[in-house]
């Protein structure tokens, strides 16, 4: 009897899973609460899948739990809550619920290096991917970074590697997933709208190492107490990275010099000033990548060559341009308060900050304390606009403009900005109240900034 999988969510990962399972001769039911027309506009290839007898779709409604009598396994997309009726029913009836990461892991012998944390995941994953590519090893940079792993499972070889950004949402639905190397960059409150408590969020992150053995490696931020405490639960070998102290096994930066200790010798890597990405937060990202790459047998010269040339990723403190003496920075990937605090500390004052978006139930107090010190003008929009205004007022900051959309936000910022100012998009919130993802939000911002320039 053929296996039948219910795939919930017809975004990138759900569509990729469906295609992989269909190619393997398995039966798939793909469902999404969005209308059929919207789904097909985003993923027109689904129309080709519908010609196959083993494929069905249920769009525009919540699929009935009654379907579970015909289902062997449920695959859920990361953005879909685990609390929706069909998923709750699957758990109650003992139908396995997994995600795209787990499916990919089961169907390949290619090893995984997995990177998680609250901030810096995309930069570190991308940098590490470039280092591995430069080493000559077949490399796939995949996962939460935007490219589903299942797109490459069929062709990936055992001597290649998946460099995988993995979110707390994806980690919730693993089962046997076991990365050869896992890294936890940092941990601050995030996604509390879904996880509800910080404890739940940390428990989700901890799943990255739950299947590791003593043969595997866990890379930890030695400067983050939450990361260190979480890592104590792991049975895998541990390497660390730090911006504060020398280490017995791992990489660190002190007085502008980067070193690594492999347990036998201390090796000079490079000076911090040669890094293509700047700021202490980016040095920490580089240290995580250095540690992971070095203990994967990538040579120091290869690592250093990429550290020099790598200039960062789109939407993370991305320089858009300088027009009429005003600098514009796109930090659309700043989807939580800690990321925006990092951005404010990294850019040149005076700052006009654009913030607001989907409500992830964060506390904005610390962010607004910094806003009161370093921001010239705050422009807010989105669902959280009132919360941001309230938090700012509590810190004594009142130079705030509320707008309805990004066209208004950028137009107002351009009108207010003076030569020497920095206009910074760093929303401290997700994009989902206005855009499907932070990438679209960032590109809208850049288009509006550069229009008529």
Helix axes 280-294, 300-309, angle to 10 degrees: 150
Paired tokens of 322: 């300088």
Predicted pLDDT of residue 146: 73
Query: For the chain, what is the domain count?
Result: 3
Task: Judge if 295 and 324 occupy the same domain.
Answer: no
Nearest one of 252, 116, 238 to 177, comparing CA atoms: 116
Q: Are 104 and 78 in contact (CB under 8 A)?
A: no
Paired tokens of 73: 């396994």
Task: Judge if 88 and 193 occupy the same domain.
Answer: no
Task: Judge if 138 and 92 occupy the same domain.
Answer: no
Task: Pick the last residue of a domain from 81, 98, 115.
Answer: 98
Task: Judge if 288 and 149 occupy the same domain.
Answer: yes
Predicted pLDDT of residue 1: 57
Distance CA 374, CA 372 (A): 6
CATH number at residue 10: 3.40.50.720
How much is the pTM?
0.82
Task: Judge if 50 and 120 occupy the same domain.
Answer: no
User: How far does Cα 280 stand from its chain's mean position?
Assistant: 19
Task: Judge if 134 and 267 occupy the same domain.
Answer: yes
Q: Which domain holds residue 279?
A: 102-309
Predicted pLDDT of residue 323: 94
Task: Judge if 193 and 141 occupy the same domain.
Answer: yes
**CA dihedral defined by 339, 344, 348, 351, rounded to 10 degrees?**
120
Task: Judge if 401 and 255 occupy the same domain.
Answer: no
Paired tokens of 141: 């940079």
Task: Pick the last residue of a domain from 280, 309, 338.
Answer: 309
Predicted pLDDT of residue 313: 83
Task: Pick the last residue of a domain from 243, 274, 309.
Answer: 309
Predicted pLDDT of residue 449: 96
Burial class, 451, CB count within 10 angstroms (exposed 0-12 / middle 13-18 / buried 19+): exposed
* Rounded average pLDDT per 10-residue block, the chain, 453 residues: 88 92 93 91 88 90 92 91 92 95 96 94 95 98 89 95 94 96 89 78 94 98 96 96 97 97 97 91 96 98 97 88 94 92 89 95 94 96 96 97 97 96 96 92 96 82
Predicted pLDDT of residue 19: 93
Predicted pLDDT of residue 192: 66
């Amino acid at each position: 009897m053929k296996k039948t999988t219910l795939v919930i969510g017809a975004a990138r990962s759900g569509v990729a899973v469906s295609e992989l399972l269909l190619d393997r001769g398995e039966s798939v039911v793909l469902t999404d609460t969005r209308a059929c027309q919207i789904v097909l506009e985003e993923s027109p290839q689904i129309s080709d899948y519908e010609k196959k007898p083993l494929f069905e779709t249920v769009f525009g409604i919540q699929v009935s739990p009654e379907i579970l009598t015909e289902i062997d396994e449920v695959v859920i997309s990361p953005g879909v809550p685990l609390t929706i009726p069909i998923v709750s029913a699957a758990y109650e009836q003992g139908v396995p619920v997994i995600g795209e990461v787990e499916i990919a892991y089961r169907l390949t012998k290619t090893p995984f290096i997995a990177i998680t944390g609250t901030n810096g995941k995309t930069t570190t994953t991308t940098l590490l991917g470039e280092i591995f590519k430069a080493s000559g090893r077949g490399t796939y940079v995949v996962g939460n970074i935007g490219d589903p792993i299942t797109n490459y499972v069929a062709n990936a070889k055992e001597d290649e590697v998946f460099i995988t950004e993995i979110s707390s949402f994806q980690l919730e639905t693993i089962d046997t997933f076991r990365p050869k190397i896992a890294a936890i960059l940092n941990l601050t409150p995030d996604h509390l709208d879904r996880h509800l408590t910080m404890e739940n969020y940390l428990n989700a992150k901890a799943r990255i190492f739950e299947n590791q053995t003593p043969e595997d490696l866990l890379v930890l931020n030695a400067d983050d107490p939450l990361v260190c405490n979480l890592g104590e639960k792991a049975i895998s070998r541990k390497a660390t990275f730090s911006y504060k102290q020398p280490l017995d096994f791992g990489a660190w930066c002190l007085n502008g010099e980067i070193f690594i200790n492999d347990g036998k010798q201390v090796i000079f890597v490079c000076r911090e000033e040669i890094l293509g990405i700047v700021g202490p937060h980016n040095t920490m990202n580089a240290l995580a990548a250095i540690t992971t790459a070095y203990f994967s047998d990538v040579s120091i010269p290869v690592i250093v060559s990429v550290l020099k040339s790598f200039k960062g990723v789109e939407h993370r403190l991305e320089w858009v341009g300088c027009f009429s003496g005003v600098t514009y920075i796109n930090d659309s990937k700043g989807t939580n308060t800690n990321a925006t605090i990092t951005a404010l500390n990294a850019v040149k004052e005076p700052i006009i900050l654009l913030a607001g978006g989907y409500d992830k139930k964060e506390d904005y107090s610390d962010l607004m304390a910094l806003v009161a010190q370093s921001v010239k003008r705050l422009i807010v929009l989105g669902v959280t606009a009132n919360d941001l205004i309230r938090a700012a007022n509590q810190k004594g900051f009142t130079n705030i403009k509320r707008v309805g959309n990004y066209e208004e936000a950028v137009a107002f910022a351009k009108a207010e900005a003076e030569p020497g100012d920095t206009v910074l998009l760093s929303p401290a919130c997700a994009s989902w109240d206005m855009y499907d993802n932070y990438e679209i939000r960032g590109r809208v911002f850049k288009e509006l900034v550069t229009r008529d320039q």
